Amino acid sequence: MGSHWGFLIGLLGAVWMLRSGHSEQQPPETAAQRCFCQVSGYLDDCTCDVETIDKFNNYRLFPRLQKLLESDYFRYYKVNLKRPCPFWNDINQCGRRDCAVKPCQFYSEEANNLIEECEQAERLGAVDESLSEETQKAVLQWTKHDSSDNFCEADDIQSPDAEYVDLLLNPERYTGYKGPDAWKIWNVIYEENCFKPQAIKRPLNPLAAGQGKSEENTFYSWLEGLCVEKRAFYRLISGLHASINVHLSARYLLQDTWLEQKWGHNITEFQQRFDGILTKGEGPRRLKNLYFIYLIELRALSKVVPFFERPDFQLFTGNKVQDAENKMLLLEILHEIKSFPLHFDENSLFAGDKKEANKLKEEFRLHFRNISRIMDCVGCFKCRLWGKLQTQGLGTALKILFSEKLIANMPESGPSYEFHLTRQEIVSLFNAFGRISTSVKELENFRDLLQNIH
């Protein structure tokens, strides 16, 4: 009798499980699966798969790249954080370089409401510009070793407002910069600089009301209908955005007292940005675009190897022994990159009619240049610093991909008048790729952390 009751209870339980949508064979998705289940296998517009990138980056490339970026040549970046925003005047946060929102006191009626926000940003958003006396003397000599045949000089690098900043003292991390001002920056980038007509609504845009499933379908139908070059441009910007969000989630302010600040991984913040359900399917797309920008910048580095292999090229800081060791490490990294088996095929870009291809290249350049100018509108100085560096680094990568023939025709020694990279471009190129590489590595960390959430 007992066995019959056991069988009946088991049968009723199975019926309940089926009716309620539960099944022992199909357990609900884990937190990790909701973020990463769609981020696997081959990437759109590429022949490479996510798993190959993870293995290559996390175990073969990332450790050596981080060591290189800690050297003096790569840790000091010259930047002008005082340039005014060329597009609008209502920047509601940073006005001084030493405090992200100190000018809040000048906004009269709003000032009292923003005092607490200003004080927080002063502690979180200030850029540490301190350089040792020895370093200050050294950097004066660095520009003398930049050849005068610069192919593309960074904007206003000779301005008296442009100064060297130690990137190791100013890590990219959470600063409290968020809300309408932060979203306005990304909104302008997506809405006006990604070849998107205004009638097409971008999914999960907090500044555009009334978005639904039909608008999402319309957006992706439009995106898939674009030529591969314009689709690639959108994916690059989305990938850069995703990478920055990974950094902010991985170096989040978990505890803030006057005695101690504790930084670490904020799993909730990561899920809000990338969880498949919380983002209505957008999160996994963003992560795939992160891998896409990784492949683009990786390909650019593989293409520019001949420039760095020239015997008269040096990573000059004045320390001959260290400079030689750093060049050797740089070349080791570049040859490791060149050995990557599944590089992005840039021949698929601008492969049509020559006249149309040149026109599209120029559109590419103008759109990207406009995005770099928008970075001067970022209200948090640390965010502005890293935004300017990463857009310049990506721009340098695109310049390399567009200059394949010029690189192939470079002389083996002596000045290269047709193709040249300035110190500024080199520092931004490798640091920008270092940020993307770090993001890919952090995805592994978040995947492990999310596996432990039940």
| Nearest of 280, 315, 313, 117 to residue 203 by alpha carbon | 280
Integer Cα distance of 96 and 286 in angstroms: 33
Find out whether 20 is annotated in a ligand binding site.
no
β-strands 261-264, 252-256: how paired?
A: antiparallel
Sign for the CA dihedral angle at 192, 194, 199, 205 comes to: negative
Find out whether 186 is annotated in a ligand binding site.
yes
Bridge partners of 263, per DSSP, are 253
Q: How many helices (H) and strands (E) does the chain have?
A: 18, 4
Integer Cα distance of 274 and 450 in angstroms: 12
Residue with tokens 């199909």: 26
Structure-block tokens of residue 14: 């199975």
**In Å, how far from its chain's centre is CA 31?**
24
Find out whether 384 is annotated in a ligand binding site.
no
Find out whether 273 is annotated in a ligand binding site.
yes
Residues 146/416, Cβ–Cβ less than 8 Å: no
**In Å, how far from its chain's centre is CA 194?**
16
Integer Cα distance of 97 and 261 in angstroms: 22
Integer Cα distance of 175 and 127 in angstroms: 11
Which of 99, 104, 194, 383 is the catalytic position?
Answer: 383
Is 46 labeled as catalytic in the residue annotation? no
Is 377 labeled as catalytic in the residue annotation? no
Integer Cα distance of 162 and 155 in angstroms: 10
Find out whether 238 is annotated in a ligand binding site.
yes
| Nearest of 152, 237, 258 to residue 186 by alpha carbon | 237
Read off the amino acid at residue 210.
Answer: G
Query: Measuring CA to CA, how many Å separate 168 from each of 23, 54, 137?
Result: 50, 25, 19
Integer Cα distance of 392 and 368 in angstroms: 9
Find out whether 423 is annotated in a ligand binding site.
no
Integer Cα distance of 146 and 164 in angstroms: 15
Which of 104, 118, 377, 380 is the catalytic position?
Answer: 380
| Nearest of 204, 215, 184 to residue 88 by alpha carbon | 184
Angle CA 230–233–238, to nearest 5: 130
| Nearest of 76, 80, 69 to residue 381 by alpha carbon | 80
Bridge partners of 164, per DSSP, are 78
For 262, the 3-state DSSP assignment is strand
DSSP letter at 49?
A: B
Annotated binding residues for FAD, as ranges? 173, 175, 186, 238, 241, 273
Annotated binding site: 173, 175, 186, 238, 241, 273
Q: Write out the catalytic residue numbers.
A: 380, 383
